[in-house]
Amino acid sequence: MKRLFPLIAVCISLCLSSCLDSYSDFVPRVSTTQFVRYTWAEGDTIAKKDTLALHYNSNDNSYFLDSVNVGDTIRVTIAYQSFANFLVSTTVDWDSTKVSLTGEIPADYQKALLSTSNIHTLHLNYHEGYNLAGIPLTIVPLRSSDCRLTLGVTSDAKKVENSVEEHIYLYIK
């Protein structure tokens, strides 16, 4: 028994020391709520409020909304997750001739952002230590056309892909 104990101790220490440098790396993710708040107007008054389903297309990892009219207001919250890793940056890109887009970033949330962030263009850089960000967006279509919003997230993951882009397609009438 005395000879077996040192052998077991060596085996256990080898197993535990192999875990020292390995931590979980995860590919970051962009997600959104399945339903979005939708308001459409007639003239200067709000005619109706409703929710629209935001459909997910698994073939190209994109979301789409159809039956959106010029002047309607769409509100959706985008969630950026880096899981066990930390967020480095998040982006939202859009064609400003087709839609007006604003991000509603609360003042207390802005403490997570580095000074290199641009809140107006929604290109945000984060202090270390944050692995989740939620950004409420307000979208107003400006003209009839198809429009694509590009949502990007970058994390500090090293052993897996650390940058992901997804799209939301709007079909504006």
pLDDT digits (tens, 9 = 90+) for 17-42: 555 555 578 889 888 776 677 776 65
Residue 107 lies in a domain: yes
17 sits in which H/E element? helix 4-17
Dihedral class, residue 67 (left if φ above 0, else alpha if ψ from -120 to 50, else beta): left
With a cut of 70, say whether residue 12 has pLDDT above it. Answer: no
Residue 122 lies in a domain: yes
Residue 65 lies in a domain: yes
CA 4 to chain CA mean position, Å: 53
The average pLDDT across 79-108 equals 92
Residue 10 lies in a domain: no
What is the pLDDT, as a whole number, of residue 62?
86
With a cut of 60, say whether residue 81 has pLDDT above it. Answer: yes
The CATH number linked to 65 is 2.60.40.10
Domain that holds residue 132: 24-172
With a cut of 80, say whether residue 74 has pLDDT above it. Answer: yes
With a cut of 60, say whether residue 60 has pLDDT above it. Answer: yes
Token code pair at residue 28? 């970051």
How many domains is the chain partitioned into structurally?
Answer: 1
